[in-house]
Amino acid sequence: MNAEEATPARWRLVEIWGDTADLGHLAWSIAIGVAVSLAGYLVASRVLAGTVGTPELARAYAMLAGLGGCVVSGLICARLFEPKREVVEGAAADPRWREEVLAELAAEHGGLGSMDDLPPVVVREMKELEIHELFASYEPRARRAEGVEGAAQ
């Protein structure tokens, strides 16, 4: 089995809430979630209808059992379907991609701010994650780029 056969086709992957999912696994996960949650609700509703004093309270507890079914179905799906993301650590990541991410962050939040403003604990953590130099070097590049744009206007 070669690498192309081991990875799912690119068109089957979708991005949902910032994470990558396989469409087939997503459909199965939804079906499992509906089945387990609904079964939990219906079973609890039937059992509690005769034991709890008021029907409203029985429905409320049955809905709580349905929510418990959501948690159980999440656990089932987590065991059945492995994550689809690729984690690349260290210098192996594409530097252009890092530049694009930094530019997006700066655009979304009106700049990245100054490294001098960060508390020491944050600087230490950034150094441990090996991203301190990336952010520190971005700041001067961004200022140079602004200077070039300002001179052109």
Using one digit for the tens of pLDDT, what is the confidence trace for 26-37? 999 999 999 999
C-alpha closest to that of 42 among 26, 59, 55: 59
Q: 98 pairs with which residues across the strands?
A: none
pTM: 0.53
Using one digit for the tens of pLDDT, what is the confidence trace for 85-124? 676 666 666 677 777 888 888 888 777 777 888 889 988 9
Angle (CA) 98-102-104 rounded to 5° is 115
